[in-house]
Amino acid sequence: MSNLQQTEQQKQIGDYWSKQSQKPQLTQTNKWWQIPHIIRYINKRVSGEAVDGFSRGLTDTAIKLAGNKVPFKKGISVGCGAGVKEMSLRKAGLVEQFDLFELSTERIKQGKDLAQKLSIADRVHFYCSDVFQTKISPSSYDFVHWNNALHHMPNVVEAVSWSYYVLQTGGMFYMDDYIGANRFQWSSQEVEIASKVRERLPKQYLLHSQSEDRYLLTKIVVPNREALIAKDPS
């Protein structure tokens, strides 16, 4: 892929996620990963404690594993969005400062505003660029952070290899990520099971995540792969 093609693809990705971040937020939680009960369940699976807070179980485990290395001095995060998760790690005392890479200008703006509000703008530095095209010396960071961004990378194996290239010996590779089917290309059995579950749910649990007067279909269908790529290459 040429540099020109890469730039066009990056712009398309950034524009897509900027539009996503501008959509109005609903007053009701309707995304499964935001439901407190599910968050506590996942945290218990990870750390043994059913605590509140997205990725809190992993964060608590990371702090225990790191021991006297906490706080890590300098972290890097790719596909950080508005940097909310990274700022929470700083608040938890895991990392002192972050370099944050994101392609969405709108999300970077939101992140900078939040950093100013939290009085930590000097501790989180946003970059609107492709981190893999950025010149970074080996062993530049003692903490590499991925949270639901690694699966958006064009080549996950290369992204992990790059992570260890920039990570110092004795540093921490921190990852919390989606491990499902590529581009939601679920099997027919998975689709059948999910559809049967939806059919049994009360209507209020099928509220669409982007509208207060739309509801999810009870019958699950596999998304069109080419349409997904055209909409969001990531």
**Do 91 and 145 fall within a single domain?**
yes
* pLDDT reading at 3 higher than 50: no
Pairing of β 167-176 and β 95-101? unpaired
**Do 131 and 221 fall within a single domain?**
no
State the SS3 of the chain. CCHHHHHHHHHHHHHHHHHHHHCCCCCCCCCHHHCHHHHHHHHHHHHCCCCCCCCHHHHHHHHHHHHHHCCEEEEEEECCCCCHHHHHHHHCCCEEEEEEECCCHHHHHHHHHHHHHCCCCCCEEEECCCHHHCCCCCCCEEEEEEECCHHHCCCHHHHHHHHHHHEEEEEEEEEECCCCCHHHCCCHHHHHHHHHHHHCCCHHHHECCCCCCCECCCCCCCCCHHHHHHHCCC
Q: What is the mean pLDDT of the chain?
A: 89
CB-based contact 46:57 (threshold 8 Å): yes
The reported pLDDT for the residue numbered 203 is 85
**Do 207 and 142 fall within a single domain?**
no
**pLDDT interval class at 29 (50, 70, 90):** low
* pLDDT reading at 1 higher than 50: no
When mean pLDDT is compared over 2-6, 119-123, 152-156, the highest value belongs to: 119-123
**Do 165 and 193 fall within a single domain?**
no
158: its two tokens: 């290369």
CB-based contact 135:120 (threshold 8 Å): no
Confirm whether 8 is domain-assigned.
Answer: no
What percent of the chain is predicted at pLDDT more than 70? 91
**Do 169 and 106 fall within a single domain?**
yes
Q: CA angle 230-146-49, nearest 5°?
A: 125
Q: Give residue 14's identity as a one-letter amino acid code.
A: G
82 to each of 49, 211, 217, how far by Cα in Å?
Answer: 27, 22, 30
When comparing pLDDT for 9 and 87, which is higher? 87
Confirm whether 145 is domain-assigned.
Answer: yes
CB-based contact 80:114 (threshold 8 Å): no
The reported pLDDT for the residue numbered 78 is 97
Domain boundary among 176, 191, 212: 176
* pLDDT reading at 32 higher than 50: yes
When comparing pLDDT for 42 and 213, which is higher? 42
* pLDDT reading at 52 higher than 80: yes
Average pLDDT of the residues in 145-172: 95
The reported pLDDT for the residue numbered 28 is 57
When comparing pLDDT for 26 and 199, which is higher? 199
Confirm whether 1 is domain-assigned.
Answer: no
When comparing pLDDT for 151 and 17, which is higher? 151
**pLDDT interval class at 2 (50, 70, 90):** very low
- Note the pLDDT tens digit of each residue in 61-78: 999 999 999 999 999 999
- Note the pLDDT tens digit of each residue in 195-228: 999 999 998 888 776 666 788 888 999 989 998 8
Q: Give residue 24's identity as a one-letter amino acid code.
A: P
Total domain count, the chain: 2
Distance CA 112, CA 159 (A): 25
Domain that holds residue 164: 67-176
Confirm whether 215 is domain-assigned.
Answer: yes
